């Protein structure tokens, strides 16, 4: 019966993790959750000073360890340099959280019926065409979608090694997508939403293909709704949450998600408790998709 004790089901002691974009926002929430469960967590990002500051704030008495690791997930040489460090210092990897992401180009007039850009179909079409560029779309897909493929494939060998350590406790990749990739509304940013939808399908393809190859690696996704982060500002009031969510119906929970809620979901997926979960996307959104048009 001891295996049913929460401390045993969610114990990550001895596990090595990487969280991209791990020094701020949702990434930092997840990093703290993994470390609190005992993992050694490498937090990555382009800004080393931000990573070092975050790592210095972690109370090791809680558990685990947080280590800054500078990494640009849109640059193959940077990815390989990070891989070399993990290979040298750890020799394997158990957890990869592909969290790095940005919002990208927005056409805020799209959601405002009174905007002059909405005069007629021709005016609206030209406004959207002129306001965004191929370069902006390419840049956003590179960080929100392409990076998942290149990070996962770069670390595949180390993840396989980690998955062989404890029978039944495979390594785990968790891709942080978004309810924006599941919602049918554009929310003023067609590019972001479609990039997240692509990330969702990429998650499922990677899960299937890697399982068919027989490697001990589980791949899943978490799709957060509105959480307090650098991308969503400080969304405290229900009105502020709805302003970010941009649904046709308000978010039923009437609040943003908490750090414990997103971190707890990821900890479940990468722990023994989530060991039978493959190729899934878990939506944690306060009920937003339950009341708004979505493909879920």
Q: Assign 68 to helix, strand or coil.
A: strand
Q: Do the beta carbons of residue 207 and residue 279 sit within 8 Å?
A: yes
Rounded distance between C-alpha atoms, residue 208 and residue 228, angstroms: 32
Active-site position among 178, 207, 229, 271: 178
Is residue 141 among the annotated active site residues? no
Rounded distance between C-alpha atoms, residue 114 and residue 206, angstroms: 43
Number of domains making up the chain? 1
Question: Is 86 among the domain residues?
Answer: yes
The CATH number of residue 175's host domain is: 3.40.50.720
β-partners of residue 67 are 42
- Confidence band, pLDDT 50/70/90 cuts, at residue 231: low
- Confidence band, pLDDT 50/70/90 cuts, at residue 229: low
pLDDT of 5 reads 87
User: What phi and psi, each to the nearest 5 degrees, are found at residue 125?
Assistant: -60, -45
**238-247 contacts at long range (C-beta below 8 A, 24 or more positions apart):** 241/286, 245/187, 245/288, 246/111, 246/185, 246/187, 246/188, 247/183, 247/185, 247/288, 247/291, 247/292
Taking only the tens place, the pLDDT of each residue in 2-25 is 788 888 899 999 999 999 999 999
Active-site position among 32, 40, 83, 196: 196
Question: Is 295 among the domain residues?
Answer: no
Q: Is the pLDDT of residue 233 over 90?
A: no
pLDDT of 3 reads 84
Question: Is 249 among the domain residues?
Answer: yes
Which helix H or strand E contains 163, and what residues bound it? Answer: helix 156-163
Taking only the tens place, the pLDDT of each residue in 102-136 is 999 999 999 999 999 999 999 999 999 999 999 99
Taking only the tens place, the pLDDT of each residue in 54-91 is 999 999 889 899 999 999 999 999 999 999 999 999 99
Tokens read off for 192: 């972001």
Question: Is 1 among the domain residues?
Answer: no
Tokens read off for 58: 């972690």
Which residues lie below 8 Å from residue 147, measured CB to CB, with a gap of 6+? Answer: 20, 73, 74, 98, 100
Instruction: Indicate whether this model's pTM tops 0.85.
Output: yes
β-partners of residue 282 are 222
Active-site position among 107, 147, 171, 192: 192
Strand order in the sheet with 65-70: 65-70, 40-45, 16-20, 95-98, 171-176, 217-224, 281-284
Is residue 196 among the annotated active site residues? yes
What's the Rg (C-alpha) of the chain?
19
Question: Is 19 among the domain residues?
Answer: yes
| Structural domain boundaries, residue 160 | 6-290
Is residue 192 among the annotated active site residues? yes
């Amino acid at each position: 019966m001891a295996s049913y004790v929460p401390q045993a089901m969610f114990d990550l002691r001895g596990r090595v993790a990487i969280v991209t974009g791990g020094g701020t926002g949702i990434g930092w929430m997840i990093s703290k959750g993994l470390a609190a469960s005992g993992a050694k967590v490498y937090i990555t990002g382009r800004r080393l000073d931000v990573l070092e500051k975050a790592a210095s704030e972690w109370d090791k008495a809680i558990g685990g360890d947080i280590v800054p690791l500078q990494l640009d997930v849109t640059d193959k040489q940077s990815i390989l340099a990070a891989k070399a460090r993990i290979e040298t210092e750890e020799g394997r990897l158990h957890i990869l959280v592909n969290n790095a992401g940005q919002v990208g180009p927005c056409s805020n007039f799209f959601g405002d019926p009174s905007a002059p850009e909405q005069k007629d179909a021709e005016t609206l079409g030209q406004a959207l065409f002129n306001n965004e560029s191929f370069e902006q779309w390419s840049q956003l897909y590179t960080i929100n979608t392409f990076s998942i493929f290149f990070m996962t494939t770069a670390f595949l060998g180390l993840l396989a090694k980690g998955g062989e350590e404890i029978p039944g406790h495979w390594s785990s990749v968790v891709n942080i997508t978004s309810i924006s990739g599941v919602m049918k509304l554009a929310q003023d940013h067609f590019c972001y939403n479609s990039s997240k939808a692509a990330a969702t399908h990429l998650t499922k393809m990677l899960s299937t293909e890697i399982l068919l190859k027989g490697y001990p690696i589980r791949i899943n996704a978490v799709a957060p709704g509105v959480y307090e982060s650098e991308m969503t500002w400080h969304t405290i009031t229900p009105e502020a949450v709805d302003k970010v969510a941009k649904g046709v119906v308000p978010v039923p929970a009437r609040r943003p998600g908490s750090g414990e809620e997103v971190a707890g979901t990821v900890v479940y997926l990468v722990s023994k408790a989530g060991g039978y979960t493959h190729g899934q996307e878990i939506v944690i959104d306060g009920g937003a998709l339950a009341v708004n048009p979505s493909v879920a």
